[in-house]
Structure 1
Amino acid sequence: MPSPTTPGYALITGASSGIGAAIAREYARRGKPLVLVARRAERLEALAAELSAQAPCVVIAADLADPATPQRLFEETRARGLFVDTLVNNAGFGTPGRYLSADWKTHADFLQVLMTSVAQLTHLYLPAMEAAGRGRILNVASLAGLVPATAGHTLYGATKLWLIRFSETLNQECRTRGVHVTAVCPGMTYTEFHDVNGMRDKVNKLPKGLWLTSDQVAKLGVDAVEAGKPRIVTGKANNVIAALSKYLPNWLASALIGSRSKDFRDAD
């Protein structure tokens, strides 16, 4: 069992690019040892080489769409004698279009990566954190979980809302045991996410004031979980959008978001 002085690693899923890689860089700047997890081994190795002068890095190539992966990750880190006192659930992807435009295997993989693996990894790593009296769990959610639903990307906002509520509830359960749980809710962020899901041309038309860099999001998220904040929305504009969504009548908020949804959602 780890003691309060046992060196702790930050395990980051989806660490090969975007916000995940930025969070890895942020923790490395703070001297935090890292376990970098993603499907693309060559990208992880390149990131580990970049960061190794700042912090120890362990690379584990794994696909969280495989239901066996969370248990395998846990067993591998335990076999290596690594105490994971920080878990960053960041892995994810988008499924553009209507719900019926994708086959069930795609949706099943999406739910496995964005929900089931998050719940299972948390269930696996949390006991040792509580036993040591210290731990951090940072869940990368989205502004999409706080605004009215729009057509397209059907499961995305729903899973992010679940992740926010999961984080807030878990924080209530764990905060007296030395473990902080935070949902970071970015809006538009400069990553390759929109290139992968084919929405780059559309989202580039959005106002520049809505965008943050992945480095900005990473620092805000890490600062928030260290401070014990259960939720943080990144950026002033996104906080305004979240507040309007909360306090405006639902029909009006839905109408406002819906009128611009084609700029950031593919509903075809």
Structure 2
Amino acid sequence: MDRKLALVTGASAGIGAAFARILASHGYDLALTARRVERLDAIAEEVRLRYGVETLTVAADLSEPDAPGTILDHLTAHGRTVDCLINNAGYGLPGAYAETRWKEQAAFIQVMVTSPCELAHRVLAGMQQRKFGRIVNVASLAGLVPAAAGHTLYAASKAFLIKFSQSLHLENVPEGVHVTALCPGFTWSEFHDVNGTRALASSSTPAWLWMGADEVAAAGYEAMEANRAVCVPGAPNKAISAIAKAIPDEWALALMASQGGRFRKV
């Protein structure tokens, strides 16, 4: 195949669907994966008709340990290799840590940390060999500011993805492989609907802090092509990140406590 293939996880809505559209607009064939087959098929058909690219869909649950291998085996069976990986799949797990079940937290870690790392590991050698590759790990502003109470592993998982991306970026500068951590703040998507925090997020967060999924994906694509290790889209988010770095940790933690956990939802 002449066209390169982009694999997008969590592609059925939000930032993942937006990435699918922008990658197709730049000539990438697409492999889209998520749990909701109908939504995946609809997006795949939309971009195929609009941009004339080939689309493959793979229904998979990344909380299952064998999911990354199953996804890539499916692509291999169709004679395709991954040139661009968008690790976007994710969700929030509300509640205090002790009030959740470990089974839920273990599945969360599998989706948010283990699966992205495994997918990157599996596709990286081929990218290096071909001297071309693109990896975007969709992290969050939450990984750049002090953690808040609740959603206990969310900010931790996003901070992990940021550090992982930075190291992978440095390792692959001479290999033609671009690695970027995309760190959006509040984004209009189904994220808050799924974890049951839509009403709270909408009522407690000013409109100027929100960005559209298309804006976020466009910023991520630009950063990916420019090979920037970390991308924080939007001026307000950049300011929040800069302030968090500048003030002492104890001040930042006190600020997070005073905000009642607002930033835990991004």
With normalisation by structure 1, the TM-score equals 0.95
User: Cα deviation per residue 1:146-205 (whole Å; 9 max; x = unaligned)?
Assistant: 001110000000000000000000000011100000000000000010011111111112
User: Cα deviation per residue 1:195-221 (whole Å; 9 max; x = unaligned)?
Assistant: 111111111121111110000000000
Residue 42 of structure 2 corresponds to 46
CA–CA distance in structure 2, aligned partners of residues 67 and 50 of structure 1: 30
Whether the 8 Å contact between 2:96 and 2:149 is mirrored in structure 1 is: yes
For structure 1, the 5+ residue unaligned runs are none
| Deviation of 1:265 (Å) | 4.3
User: Cα deviation per residue 1:221-261 (whole Å; 9 max; x = unaligned)?
Assistant: 01101110000111100111000100111111222222113
The one-letter code sitting in structure 2 at the alignment partner of 1:222 is Y
Residue 161 of structure 1 corresponds to 159
Matched, 1:175 2:173: yes
Task: Give the match's secondary structure for 2:82.
Answer: strand
The one-letter code sitting in structure 1 at the alignment partner of 2:249 is N
Q: 1:1-268 counterparts in 2 under 5 A?
A: 6-53=2-49, 54=51, 55-205=53-203, 206-265=205-264
Whether the 8 Å contact between 1:6 and 1:83 is mirrored in structure 2 is: no
State the aligned residue count: 262
Whether the 8 Å contact between 2:148 and 2:263 is mirrored in structure 1 is: no
CA–CA distance in structure 2, aligned partners of residues 261 and 146 of structure 1: 18
The one-letter code sitting in structure 1 at the alignment partner of 2:107 is D
Whether the 8 Å contact between 2:142 and 2:264 is mirrored in structure 1 is: no
Whether the 8 Å contact between 1:203 and 1:264 is mirrored in structure 2 is: no
CA–CA distance in structure 1, aligned partners of residues 245 and 113 of structure 2: 24
CA–CA distance in structure 2, aligned partners of residues 9 and 103 of structure 1: 38
Whether the 8 Å contact between 1:77 and 1:83 is mirrored in structure 2 is: yes
CA–CA distance in structure 2, aligned partners of residues 234 and 258 of structure 1: 25
CA–CA distance in structure 1, aligned partners of residues 11 and 222 of structure 2: 18
The one-letter code sitting in structure 2 at the alignment partner of 1:217 is V
Task: Give the match's secondary structure for 1:138.
Answer: strand
Whether the 8 Å contact between 1:199 and 1:264 is mirrored in structure 2 is: no
RMSD: 1.2
Whether the 8 Å contact between 1:84 and 1:125 is mirrored in structure 2 is: yes
With normalisation by structure 2, the TM-score equals 0.96
Task: Give the match's secondary structure for 1:258.
Answer: helix
CA–CA distance in structure 1, aligned partners of residues 262 and 180 of structure 2: 29
The one-letter code sitting in structure 2 at the alignment partner of 1:258 is A
Spell out structure 1 runs of 4+ moving beyond 6 A: none
User: Cα deviation per residue 1:50-80 (whole Å; 9 max; x = unaligned)?
Assistant: 1112121111111111101111112111121
The percentage of aligned residue pairs carrying the same residue is 48
| Deviation of 1:34 (Å) | 0.4
The one-letter code sitting in structure 2 at the alignment partner of 1:248 is I
CA–CA distance in structure 2, aligned partners of residues 170 and 238 of structure 1: 24
Distance 1:247 1:264, change over 3 A: closer
Task: Give the match's secondary structure for 2:172.
Answer: helix
CA–CA distance in structure 1, aligned partners of residues 176 and 255 of structure 2: 41
CA–CA distance in structure 1, aligned partners of residues 12 and 247 of structure 2: 38
User: Cα deviation per residue 1:66-101 (whole Å; 9 max; x = unaligned)?
Assistant: 101111112111121112100010111110010122
Whether the 8 Å contact between 2:3 and 2:27 is mirrored in structure 1 is: no
CA–CA distance in structure 2, aligned partners of residues 137 and 164 of structure 1: 12
Whether the 8 Å contact between 2:7 and 2:30 is mirrored in structure 1 is: yes
